[in-house]
Structure 1
Amino acid sequence: MKAAIRVISDGADGAASDLATGAGSLDVVYSGLTSASALAERAWRDSDELASNYPNAMALLSNAAAAVGGQRSRARTQLYGLANLSDPERKLIGEVLGEGEVAGVVALPDGSLAQIRESVLAGIWRVRIGGEPAHEYLEVGAIPQIVRRAATDLTSADLAIGAAPDGAMNVQPVLAEIRERARVWRFGMRAHVINLTSLPMSVIDLTFLQQSMGNGPVQLIFRGYGTCRVQATRIRNVWSVQFFNSTDNIILDTLEVGSVPIVALAADEDFQDSAERMQEIIKAYFT
């Protein structure tokens, strides 16, 4: 199974996204400065000038720092709207927080798309619904709530299994396992992982599996030492999780039955680390 997603950001002035529905390649093009380079660029400025010219940005960052310090992975997320910020303040927020390793899109019931991007401070996310600044906010938590809601509300509770095509080998028992696990899974249970890489699955099997599961409303990409792509399927609580090497070849292909895959979530230790780093930024550049 191979997802198809494209997210293109053109910086503070706007963004455009294209969410594909079939198989294909997944590309995310990042733009903008990282937190370190942005702050280095502004280091010459007097802290009093920053504090006086960007009071709302400073207040928002201070509130986010306090929130992330007390956040836990299973706790409700905390939102901070950006509508009351000026364009320069929103730009400053973007430069201070930078762009982390996680980005993606969420399809909404009205046909619009929400773009999500984790900052360089794990557990602090920037979310934009459509293209309006009024619909942009920061969210502190393991994953933005919009991801969980879409994966629950815009997916089907049952998997219909059709007749396998000629040449199929093992796709029918795999689909039966997915359907049974998805039916009984409840929040709090461990995820059930099916390693497609280790199964004797033909191209016909994988194609029919993709057609049966379909693409759901959430698609995420993680770029670190390698690339990981996470996509909700059309079936509730079933996710495709794929790891790629530097040449974009799949090295691990799995299906997970459960909540949002753990690879996508900020952990408790991430929140504390982000809080400390955020306080350092505020102290160094605003006080």
Structure 2
Amino acid sequence: MKQVSGSRPIAPRKCEQPMSVFPIAAESLDAAHSGLGAARALANPAALNGIELARNCPNAIALLYSVAAAVAGQKSDVPTQLFRIGNLNDPERRLIAEVLGEGELSGVVALPSGRVAQIQESVLAGIWRVRIETDAAHEYVEVGAIPEIVRRAATDLTSSDLLIGAAPDGAMNVLPVLAEIRERAMAWQPGMRSQIINFTLLPMSPVDLAFLQQSVGNGPIQLISRGYGTCRVLATGIRNVWSVQFFNAMDSIILDTLEVGGVPMAALAAEEDFWVSAERLQEIIKAYFE
């Protein structure tokens, strides 16, 4: 599902791969992914009593019912649905966090105000928790393929044009590659398929890669997904241009690409995820709170 935080970028884990379009910096992006979710946490009667929780946290239970209904009817091509939790008390927010858990994808979005939006997919794909840094009132659960704040930042906080300067000494293939990226990015429209430029096999020198990264720049969105391996998704400074990198279990980069299009598929919940998540959440509510 990496991090830009206003003036303080948060980079992912160090990787031994010496050449990549967006090199891995030293600071780690590791997030605490419990992956436990409600099924394991609530299975311990000593930890949580469902009937007592339902009595003491009626607003949280009502919100979970609403989220279950929303995700059951959600589609990938319709607006997301938001459920604010900033007005709930601490026990109710903790209950929601326990039920939803922490899934594989997390990240941050830098906002024009200088604050950072933190996003965390739940263990139920397509259900997200979003919190605006330093503002507890702006905390909510969102149902959809990706939180809308990601799509907005990718459009509103990036440049519509890629300016290509003179290539530095030692450059080989970077100018035609940049020209191709520029042409594709300006031509792309919602509904079109994304186009992928694979740098893993493309002959590019270190000078080429450095100039390419300098040209497209850094964008406002950093996402990381940890499943069988790790996938890092970065918005560049150019609208519709993303860096998507895949790593193996040893944190060595195995696929280094630029993707021209909307939010990359690697970061999106799939259409079939909504039904599965709705069913699982309904089962959790029935088992522990009814």
TM-score (ref. length: structure 2): 0.90
CA distance in 1, matches of 2:247, 2:216: 21
Which of 26, 29, 37 aligns to 1:27? It is: 29
- Structure 2 residue runs without a partner (length 5+): 12-21
CA distance in 2, matches of 1:32, 1:60: 22
Q: Please list the CA deviations of residues 174-216 of structure 1 after superposition, one character each: whole Å capped at 9, or x if unmatched.
A: 1000000011111111111111111001111111111111110
Counterpart of 1:28, as a letter, is: D
Name which of structure 1's ranges 205-214 and 17-26 shifts more when overlaid on structure 2: 17-26
Which of 162, 165, 181 aligns to 2:165? It is: 162
Q: Flag the 1:43–1:285 CA change in 2: closer, same or farther, 3 A.
A: farther
Partner of 1:14: none
CA distance in 1, matches of 2:163, 2:35: 46
TM-score (ref. length: structure 1): 0.91
Give the deviation of 1:269 after TM superposition: 0.5
CA distance in 1, matches of 2:8, 2:140: 21
CA distance in 1, matches of 2:248, 2:32: 19
Partner of 1:5: 3
Which of 264, 268, 274 aligns to 1:261? It is: 264
Residue 50 of structure 1 pairs with residue 53 of structure 2 = yes
CA distance in 2, matches of 1:231, 1:31: 20
State the 4+ residue runs in structure 1 displaced beyond 6 angstroms. Answer: none
Give the deviation of 1:46 after TM superposition: 4.3
| Bigger proportion of residues as helix | 1
Q: Flag the 1:278–1:65 CA change in 2: closer, same or farther, 3 A.
A: same
Taking only the aligned residue pairs, the percentage that are identical comes to 67
Are the aligned partners of 2:33 and 2:103 in contact in 1 as well (CA < 8 Å)?
no
Name which of structure 1's ranges 110-119 and 41-50 shifts more when overlaid on structure 2: 41-50
- Structure 1 residue runs without a partner (length 5+): 8-16
Residue 107 of structure 1 pairs with residue 110 of structure 2 = yes
CA distance in 1, matches of 2:8, 2:57: 33
Residue 274 of structure 1 pairs with residue 277 of structure 2 = yes
Q: Flag the 1:128–1:188 CA change in 2: closer, same or farther, 3 A.
A: same
How many correspondences in the alignment?
Answer: 275
Are the aligned partners of 1:222 and 1:229 in contact in 2 as well (CA < 8 Å)?
yes
Counterpart of 1:29, as a letter, is: A
CA distance in 2, matches of 1:236, 1:77: 21
Counterpart of 1:159, as a letter, is: L
CA distance in 1, matches of 2:206, 2:101: 40
Give the deviation of 1:249 after TM superposition: 1.6
Are the aligned partners of 2:60 and 2:95 in contact in 1 as well (CA < 8 Å)?
yes
